[in-house]
Structure 1
Amino acid sequence: MKCSVVKIPAGAPHDMTGLQTATEEGRLKPEEVVAVLGKTEGNGCVNDFTRGYAVMALKQWFAAAAPEQAADISYVMSGGTEGVLSPHFTVISRSGSPETGTASGGGKALAIGTARTRDFRPEELGRLIQVDEVADAVARAVFDAGITSAADVHFVQIKCPLLTGEQLFEAHGRGVPLVTEDTYKSMGYSRGASALGAAVALGEIERSALREEDICVNWELYSSVASTSAGSELSCCEVIVFGNSDTAAGPYHIDHAVMKDAIDGAALQGLLNRHPGDELVQVLAKAEADPDGVIRGRRHIMLDDSDINHTRHARAVVGGVLAYVGGDPMIYVSGGGEHQGPKGGGPVAAVFRRRQL
């Protein structure tokens, strides 16, 4: 198996000219694409329709460019490009199979796996049933990537559903209780349950010790590699696993660290220091506002701002810090870090390309 990562700038959520140009230049083969991660310029909240707009445009483009593979592509759109974050698509391609192969340069190479859960009912979001379904999907994605050790998994991106007003009405009609009546809070519950599902699948926490009341309450439970993003454009969870495998080939590889808080640029700098001489291709990170309202002992107002949601503040902060360290604002930073890294922090992963190959 050989995987690659290509960043494509986007002038708007529906702008496919970059994909077309990359295809014409030979940097992208649509028939090999397995997933697309996007940063779209909406508000990243419940009513951010730029995510669905981008997915619709991408599906139409790939249906024409690679009709046989288009239905199998996973799309994860993260709304919100606050601050210096630049709207773009990260296109992930894979050729061959994970069954055989030797990594280039004598080391393990980038391996990608994908999976989907079934569609969720409104009353299942933010509960243990979502944790279990996501855990199963993550395990399947790890297998799909040909990764045999959880230590080789460096980033798990999950796109999950949220509750809308229409779903609240439908659930009330059936008389079923929901985890929350607040559509915005439902994003956090869905992200949190999905992250815990990844943690269970990778052995970071014990499923037997997890209780439903731990979700979005017990911040001691988290995954150090999960990044989850909620949206109204889907009813299932899309899972993309990034890791390294000795059955993968090619110049790309990935590594990760955990930011202790929103200004911990040293986490990414440490990754760069660990791989001197390699080209930094993409940064994938989670942004969160510390729920205690402080960063390194200093008060912040992200949680108190009634005009701008705290997830938007957090994306701007983390995006600026990581863009400075990596030297590029076209990076994937997703907001809302429930159970994704320690309280107030979050995972950061870096995809590299070996220069000597």
Structure 2
Amino acid sequence: MAKHGLASITTTPQTPRSTNDGLHKLARSYALKLLAAAGITVNGTQPWDIQVHDERLYLRCLLHGSLGLGEAYMDGWWDCEAIDECIRRLLSVQAPQTIGWLARIPLWFDSRFINRQRGKGAFVIGEHHYDIGNDLYEAMLDRRMIYSCAYWDSGARTLDEAQEAKLDLIARKLDLQPGLRVLDIGCGWGGTAQYLAERYGVHVVGITVSKEQAALASERCRGLPVEIRLEDYRQTRGTFDRIISVGMFEHVGYRNYRTFMQVARRCLADDGLLLLHTIGTNVAYQGRDAWIERYIFPNSMLPSPRLLTAAFEGLFVLEDWHNFGINYVTTLKAWHANFERAWPQLSARYNERFYRMWRLYLLMSAGSFMARASQLWQLVLSPRGVAGGYRSVR
């Protein structure tokens, strides 16, 4: 059986090269100054120092930004023991904004003028990311396979405990009562629907654009008042007392934010509540990260506060906005630890290049949350405002 990944690019570190080419020298000089400003030393002894195996790395990063950096790591051109801390330091000096800006222009125009999350495009993320193999996610995630930020502020000591604390937090924020009808937009592998049906006695309709998720979620929730559908949120019909969307809004695309909110409003009872759980960014940005776009989450982007509020203005009342993004650092490190432990078994199906890609994805993401460049928000919205006021739950 062929291993998952693009085996055409080697992961064997190449022999260090030197060159007299002026452009390479200029790129190296610029990179060293940028790294020094971040407290990173090339071939240094600190865990966050990078070990360079190919001198072409500097020009590749200068020209192609995150795509060059990520592909160079996958190709074995550099290594780092503490990638998360390395990324945190680079973000602290705004390194991503100073390199590879030419490579970002096509993605900016694409995001600005093309709606890639519409129609069949809505299912691309399911095929590319969530359908790559349930064995990977079963090994990496908690026992319920919840693929979103856990709630460690609850005092949880394990990933299982922290994810259940997050699910319980959601249930309490929505004041779930037996018999309520709940729509789960982006239901994943069914762990949330299963938990809410078992613990709170609600009826759940879960939707996903991933065939693998839909199949496993249906199996997981067999015998419970849960219906799993393979469909895009725009196709959903019916009226629900509560709506939740956990870790799905990142795939909606800013051109569809208003449509998402309109669909939610159409499907939500007048006295209902909507809980939106999403990663967010500090500044409205209409482009996409080139490496993440190509290898991890195609057609995805993070919302900003301004874009979010504009999307639901006139449709919902904002009842609560909770930021616990720092909890994602611990969550991602737990996922990474599980991934590393499981790699000897996973390596039979996934190649070495995939290993480096996935490791970089998890630790780079942790570094972004450490730097507070990425956030994790839970918003509670109501159609007409909760009578007497909404009481925040933490």
| Bigger relative contact order (CA 8 A; separation at least 6) | 1
Scaled by the length of structure 2, what TM-score is found?
0.27
Q: Larger strand proportion, structure 1 or 2?
A: 1
Scaled by the length of structure 1, what TM-score is found?
0.29
Rg larger in 1 or in 2? 2
